[in-house]
Amino acid sequence: MADQAATPLGIATRKPFGLWRHLNKLRWLTLGAVMAMLILIPYLHLYQTYRAAHAYDLLASSEKQIYDAMEFVTDPFVSNPAEDLDAIKGNTWSGTFWGLKISDPLAVLGQSVAGWLIHWPFAITALIPLIVTLLFGRVFCGWICPATFIYELNSSLAAWLRWAGINPTILPAHWHFDRRLKYLVLAVGLVLSSVSGASLVAGIYPPAIIGRELYYAVALGGFGVGSAIFFGTLLFDLLVARRGFCRYICPGGALYSLIGRYRLLRIRRIVETCNDCEKCTAVCEFELNPMRDNFGQECNNCTACIAICPTDALTFAIRPVDVPEQGPGHLGRNYRNNIPNGGE
Amino acid sequence: MMRRRTFLSVMGSGAVATVLPAETDAASYASQRYLRPPGALDEDDFLARCIRCGQCGEACPNRCIKYFGFENGLQSTDTPYITPREKACILCMKCGDVCPTGAIQKIERKVETILDEVKMGHAVVDESLCLSFQGKTCGVCYRACPLPDVAIRVGMLEQPHVLDACVGCGLCERSCIQLPQAIRVIPNHG
């Protein structure tokens, strides 16, 4: 920050709004809240079934614990749990909130190609996610997706392993898949859904898997086949590429990327206050390059780069495309060594 | 329409069989008798319409709705079903209310609409197993039926006779005291 004197005038007006540094914490709260809801909803359902059965004394002691805990949680809010708790059902794949049904755009797309028919009452349930994605891009991936919550913990695990001297990656360094692979996965998934007449994309889409599997595990007594698929994606991320599933394979991420390609809200670099420290590029879970103004349609506005930037050189901008590459940051050595008068 | 669907599903089975052999063709893998939730579309349309969100199960106050893994074919994965002998449908119609896609149709919870629109299956009595037909007065299935004298009636010695109006909820099969059960629901889906 001592270098601030060397920057051009107008620096004060280019400083990002202070709260944006804290959005990353808010994002973690959001992810945690979604995950907590996905765990709570099956327990609430169990509680409803116990209520509907009118037989507290006949419950096993473990069931009584669930009953008591859920009664404690919901008692201030509902008078008739067996009916009132129907207000919140489902998961991030498709959910019901007080009669408002919200579904993932991929659910609508998968179902439409499986049946060769757009079922409008269902299609409009994806309207809110669609508008949000058009405006804000892949925010679902960064802010809501329950798989992201686990994948980011998985990334942390990989980081701890590296810190402990164990490199979990089995691929050679600098070896990369092509990001566009996920669009191929989306296309093939839709084609298979259409020829098989069943929405097969639901089977490999982690947020859909997690929503279902948590319900199976809590209410139906065990995980199903989807958990094995999800575990595979965790291993892929750990052993092959950080957040590799989201970046290279996820069909939902592909769809969100396409819809959010010309999103209005995007992160941009303030070149005048950037010092080329590369922390943003290192922290980016999607391996984008904020320091070279390279966000593209993959960026999910997770704001991790804003939070880590030591010179507050990243902010939001309202514009449908990224800023063209602005060159080295004005506080960095590269820039100051190359300007004609030697950086003042 | 149906011909194309059949063609597509054959194509699909072929495409999928290369990935997952032996577990694919639902029709040839009839090891399990299951019911779809009340109001479910015909099997082909149901598979195409269902997005596997699991809300029908979450809405079921009786927890009778379970979900397939790979055992009924790849296309059935994560779709809801009911095994009536384990836990049968109580015809509360909540699954249709919560279903976002109409794979399970919304049906009003009234006797007339249920009789009209719910077609899960039809109960069949095996008279060689049924206690009442062996001279031991039973009548449990009749008493378990949510539509007594409409879907099932009993004659001499409480011998059950299933009527055409039976919607196939499976509560009779669930309650049958004979082992194996003397009354079963034959599903309506393909």
Across the interface, do B53 and A197 touch by the CB < 8 Å criterion?
no
Across the interface, do B12 and A192 touch by the CB < 8 Å criterion?
yes
Across the interface, do B8 and A121 touch by the CB < 8 Å criterion?
no
Q: Considering CB atoms only, which of A94, A197, A215 is closest to B51?
A: A94
Interface A–B counts its CB contacts (< 8 A) at 141
The residues, ordered by sequence, that sit 6+ positions from A199 with a Cβ below 8 Å of its Cβ are: A107, A110, A111, A114, A193, B48, B50, B51, B52
Return the amino acid letter for A305.
Answer: C
| Interchain CB contact of B7 with A (< 8 Å) | no
Reported pTM: 0.86
Secondary structure of B24-49 in the HEC alphabet? CCCCCCCCCCCECCCCECCHHHHHHH
Domain-by-domain residue ranges, chain B? 32-187
The residues, ordered by sequence, that sit 6+ positions from A55 with a Cβ below 8 Å of its Cβ are: none
Q: Considering CB atoms only, which of B15, B48, B102 is closest to A198?
A: B48
Q: Looking at A100-145, list the stretches that DSSP marks H as alpha helix, in order from N- to C-terminal side.
A: 105-115, 120-123, 127-136, 139
* A217 vs A313: CA distance, rounded Å: 45
* B68 vs A49: CA distance, rounded Å: 21
Q: Which two tokens stand for residue A5?
A: 């004197």
The residues, ordered by sequence, that sit 6+ positions from A303 with a Cβ below 8 Å of its Cβ are: A20, A23, A24, A27, A142, A267
Q: How far is B117 from chain A (nearest CA, A)?
A: 20
Across the interface, do A198 and B45 touch by the CB < 8 Å criterion?
no
Chain A residues lying within 8 Å of B100, measured CB to CB: 90, 94, 96, 101, 103, 122, 125
Across the interface, do A86 and B94 touch by the CB < 8 Å criterion?
yes
Domain-by-domain residue ranges, chain A? 2-23+264-338
Interface of B with A in 51-90 (CB under 8 A): 51-55, 57-63, 66-67, 69-70, 74-78
User: What percent of chain B is helix, strand and coil (3-state, nearest 5)?
Assistant: 30, 15, 55
For residue A173, with 0-12 CB atoms within 10 Å meaning exposed, 13-18 middle and 19 or more buried, which class applies?
Answer: exposed
Residue-by-residue pLDDT tens, chain A, 344 positions? 444 444 444 444 567 788 889 999 999 999 999 999 999 999 999 999 999 988 899 999 999 999 999 999 999 999 988 888 999 999 999 999 998 999 999 999 999 999 888 999 999 999 999 999 999 999 999 999 999 999 999 999 999 999 999 888 887 777 778 889 999 999 999 999 999 999 999 999 999 999 999 999 999 988 988 999 999 999 999 998 889 999 999 999 999 999 999 999 999 899 889 999 999 999 999 989 998 888 888 899 999 999 999 999 999 989 888 888 888 888 888 888 887 655 44
Q: For strand B183-187 and strand B121-125, is the pairing parallel, antiparallel, or unpaired?
A: antiparallel
CB B91 within 8 A of CB B167: yes
CB A1 within 8 A of CB A15: no
Across the interface, do B58 and A212 touch by the CB < 8 Å criterion?
no
This complex has an ipTM of 0.86
Of A191, A200, A201, the C-alpha closest to B8 is: A191
Across the interface, do A111 and B51 touch by the CB < 8 Å criterion?
yes
